[in-house]
Structure 1
Amino acid sequence: MNDTPGRNSPGPSPSEERPPAAPEEPTPADQASGTGEDARSSQWAPEQPPAGQWSTPSAVPPQTRRTTRERARSNPGPQRPDPQGWGPQAAARGGWGNWTPPAQAPQPGVIPLRPLGVGEIIDAAIRTVRVQWRTALGISFALAVGTQAVATVVTGLWFRNTPDLQSLADSETVSPRQLLDAIGRSLGGVGIAWAIGLIGSIIATGMLMVMVSHAILGRTTSIGEAWRSARPQLGRLCGLLVLLPLMVCAVLTVGLALGLLVAAAGAESAGAALALLGGLGSVAAGVWLWIRYSLAVPALMLEKQGVVASMRRSAKLVRGAWWRVFGVQLLAVALTFVVSMIAQMPMGVVESIVSGGSDSDVTSWPTLIVAGIGAVISSTLAFPVTAAVTALLYTDQRIRRESLDLELVRAASAGK
């Protein structure tokens, strides 16, 4: 009978008694080929830990292996779900493994401060316009009325003495000189109207970007506060919003130039084919540039960057996520287009009544005024949505790339 507490040391016989603290004698190498127990004991490393420093395991009843029938008898059957559901209450009662739900992202404003989905961006843009509708619609309506009024007056005065291009094209006695003059005057009027509208969109975009950035932090913005915040950057914003369309126009011109030159040389069919291929390629390149630099405006307004620096910033944020940014921007364009068409339907009916159902006098003052009112309505609804989507997409990309959510949490806490 062995009275030594703890485990027995490995040896040739379990009946041999050994002193509890006496170290074992090393087994000679010539005895390693003895019994099986001796062979197993010779595989231990020569340097063993000293005796008395390793505690023995507590007495645990031996685990017996149960048969399938015994396990089936001990199983009470399928567990019924907790009638009070799975959630914090179940965790507080010591439920299923004390599971607790993951912590929710903080949401001081219109979005939770975490990476957003596509639907969340569109929904947050609409929510921003709905929550701060006075500021959003006030800014866009004031600028749309001002710019559209000037554009309507310029269009009415510019095209009043300009012959209609369609009538000149149908005439057989028109000279090339008259046709070129009419084209030049038409392009000049369109360019002036476009420049006036661009100025309004620049101011509206700058002010709305400030409003959306404050809405993310849960703050409201007045029209005066938005103007004071956006005014220092309007010059740079004007340069940016003129440079980007010029880049796209230059790409389109280069794509069409070769085909037009070949057609002018006499090979009209080959020139038309080249112009078609070049046009498709230039359109694809223009869309790529538009998406690549689509986040330059919020970078310029919110980070106080320069024109070139904001374009580089946008390219960095879009890199690796071009298709995602393209999808969100395309959804925003489709949404604003549908809303604008619905808003302009009544004005289209009024315009057809005013013009008598004829397109012969599209430059008359009543027709231009009705068309201008429809443009004001569509611009008032489109400006806030597109600006909000762009600002939220910029914020989402920075949260994904640069952990902007941590800075926003601190800014929201400091503001409160």
Structure 2
Amino acid sequence: MTTPESAPDQPAPPQPAGSQPAGWGEPPRYGQYAPGYDAAAQAAPEQPQYGTAPGTPATGQYGQSQYGQYTPGGPVPGYRPLADKPGIVPLRPLSLGELYDGAFGAVRHNPGVTLGLTAIVVVVAVAIGTLISIPLITWFTDLFGSLFAEIGADPALDDMGFTQDMLGVTYGSAIGTGILLTLASPLAMGVMAISVSDSVIGRKITVAEAWARVVKRAWFLIGFSLLSMLAGLVAYAVAIGIAVGLFAIDPVLGAIGAFLLLAAILVGGVWVFTRVALIPPALAVEGGGFWATCQRAWKLTRGTFWRVLGIYLLTSVILGFIAQIVAFPISLVLGLFAVLGSGVGLAISYGVTYVITGAMSVLFLGGVMALLYIDTRMRREGLDVQLQAAAAAAADK
């Protein structure tokens, strides 16, 4: 057992008039020991007796050490740790509340990037998408008009709002604006992830720096989004083909098969989506190749599946609730344009709705997922040690 004589020597107390010994109060560098630290005692500590906590002194009451003594494994004499929270979150595994607080803190810490640059990306994408959706709206309106003319108009559908103009605007805007927003959202999410990764260590990057860094990874982010969409379409196409084949054999078998396929797509889709949820922030922050980064981020969710899924679902529900409140005044404007029968006005109103919901998703959900990526790496890879060193380097500049 450890005796008082074997305790490491304490450093001399600070002397007045600047006569402090060298190294007092300075944190040891990586791979070095602080003054007074007994490396040999730490390398081969004595095996404690059963029921005795490691580092318990031989004298004194159980669980207590004598005043002025240090126990092996405790705080290193002369070591002054860095601040626990140099940036928007503490550099340790985060709780749910700290993730949400950090997402709001990222916006407050660097509004020029989080609010300005991300909003510009979303607005430009929606504006281009709205221009593309205008001819699509005309095409879908004529298509549904011909369909209603063949099957006959139903007053009940008109009362519910299922008119050819409304359906044309809905499908045209969803395809035109939706596709552009799907391609632009990864870029905006990447900007958010880069800003958050620097805000974590207390560093504030400029808009030009954030844009220059995200442009280097732009094709990776857009490529991942396109691959995700393609994988989903292929999965649905295969499922529909199998269901049609089963219905051709037997209607009952087809119904059972369709139900099982739908359940398999739902469960499989949730599983795959959760396993790849940390890939976008990893692609934006890390500097590795596309497939190597995807493989690393895939492995990060191993063992943390339910935590990642639960936080994402809860955040999405909160965002959906807030979006409904914010979008209510816009729905009144949509109703006014519907009465006036202006297709262009409806397209613009849909575009405004996409801007608001898209910006909210990028800011809050993007911030939460970026912090969740950092939190998972701190839990699995000890990233907090590297972040502490980076925070110290940023503070010295």
Extract unaligned runs of 5+ from structure 1: 1-90, 93-99, 175-182
Extract unaligned runs of 5+ from structure 2: 1-65, 68-74, 76-80, 153-166
Q: 1:384 to 1:348 in 2, by over 3 A?
A: same
Distance 2:102 2:376 in 1: 15
For each residue in 1:273-304, what CA deviation from the matched residue of structure 2 results, as whole angstroms up to 9, or x when unmatched? 32222112101111111110111112222121
Match for 1:119 among 89, 93, 97?
97
Report what 2:242 is aligned to.
258
Match for 2:369 among 382, 390, 407?
390
Match for 1:143 among 105, 118, 121?
121
The reply to whether residue 158 of structure 1 matches residue 136 of structure 2 is: yes
Match for 1:401 among 359, 366, 380?
380
Distance 1:403 1:213 in 2: 15
Report what 1:198 is aligned to.
182
Q: 1:191 to 1:137 in 2, by over 3 A?
A: same
Distance 1:288 1:124 in 2: 26
Distance 1:188 1:307 in 2: 33
Report what 1:211 is aligned to.
195
- The AA in structure 2 aligned to 1:397 is T
Report what 2:37 is aligned to.
none
Q: CA deviation at 1:133?
A: 2.8
Match for 2:86 among 83, 95, 108?
108
- 8 A Cα contact 1:339 1:381, kept in partner: no
For each residue in 1:334-382, what CA deviation from the matched residue of structure 2 results, as whole angstroms up to 9, or x when unmatched? 222222222211111111122129xxx5x70111111211211221222
Q: 1:105 to 1:316 in 2, by over 3 A?
A: farther
Identical columns (%): 29
How much is the aligned-residue C-alpha RMSD, in angstroms? 3.1
Distance 1:231 1:268 in 2: 52
Report SS of the residue matched to 1:161.
Answer: helix
The reply to whether residue 282 of structure 1 matches residue 265 of structure 2 is: yes
Distance 1:120 1:413 in 2: 22
Report what 1:344 is aligned to.
327
- 8 A Cα contact 1:114 1:399, kept in partner: yes
Q: 1:167 to 1:227 in 2, by over 3 A?
A: same
* Runs of 4+, deviation exceeding 6 Å: 186-189
Matched pairs, number = 306
- 8 A Cα contact 2:137 2:171, kept in partner: no
Q: 1:152 to 1:188 in 2, by over 3 A?
A: closer
- The AA in structure 2 aligned to 1:259 is A
- 8 A Cα contact 1:202 1:241, kept in partner: yes
Distance 1:300 1:112 in 2: 23
The reply to whether residue 241 of structure 1 matches residue 225 of structure 2 is: yes
Q: CA deviation at 1:167?
A: 4.9
- The AA in structure 2 aligned to 1:278 is L
- The AA in structure 1 aligned to 2:354 is A
- 8 A Cα contact 1:295 1:390, kept in partner: yes
- The AA in structure 1 aligned to 2:264 is G
Distance 1:188 1:153 in 2: 11
- 8 A Cα contact 1:205 1:383, kept in partner: yes
Report SS of the residue matched to 2:217.
Answer: helix
Report what 1:231 is aligned to.
215
Match for 1:373 among 352, 359, 362?
352
For each residue in 1:6-52, what CA deviation from the matched residue of structure 2 results, as whole angstroms up to 9, or x when unmatched? xxxxxxxxxxxxxxxxxxxxxxxxxxxxxxxxxxxxxxxxxxxxxxx
Q: CA deviation at 1:191?
A: 4.6
For each residue in 1:153-183, what CA deviation from the matched residue of structure 2 results, as whole angstroms up to 9, or x when unmatched? 2111122133456555555469xxxxxxxx9
Distance 2:90 2:145 in 1: 58
- 8 A Cα contact 2:173 2:347, kept in partner: no
Query: What aligned pairs does 1:296-335 form with structure 2 within 5 A after superposition?
Result: 296-335=279-318
Report SS of the residue matched to 1:355.
Answer: helix
Distance 1:173 1:218 in 2: 63
- The AA in structure 2 aligned to 1:203 is L
Report what 2:337 is aligned to.
354
For normalisation by structure 2, the TM-score amounts to 0.70
For normalisation by structure 1, the TM-score amounts to 0.67
- 8 A Cα contact 1:109 1:218, kept in partner: yes
- 8 A Cα contact 1:136 1:208, kept in partner: yes
- The AA in structure 1 aligned to 2:394 is G
Q: 1:188 to 1:200 in 2, by over 3 A?
A: same
Deviates more, 1:155-164 or 1:143-152: 155-164
Distance 2:144 2:297 in 1: 42
Distance 1:303 1:141 in 2: 23
Higher CA-based Rg: 1
Report what 1:48 is aligned to.
none
- The AA in structure 2 aligned to 1:279 is L
Q: CA deviation at 1:223?
A: 1.6
For each residue in 1:281-331, what CA deviation from the matched residue of structure 2 results, as whole angstroms up to 9, or x when unmatched? 101111111110111112222121222112211121100110011011112
Distance 1:139 1:275 in 2: 45
Distance 1:291 1:330 in 2: 10
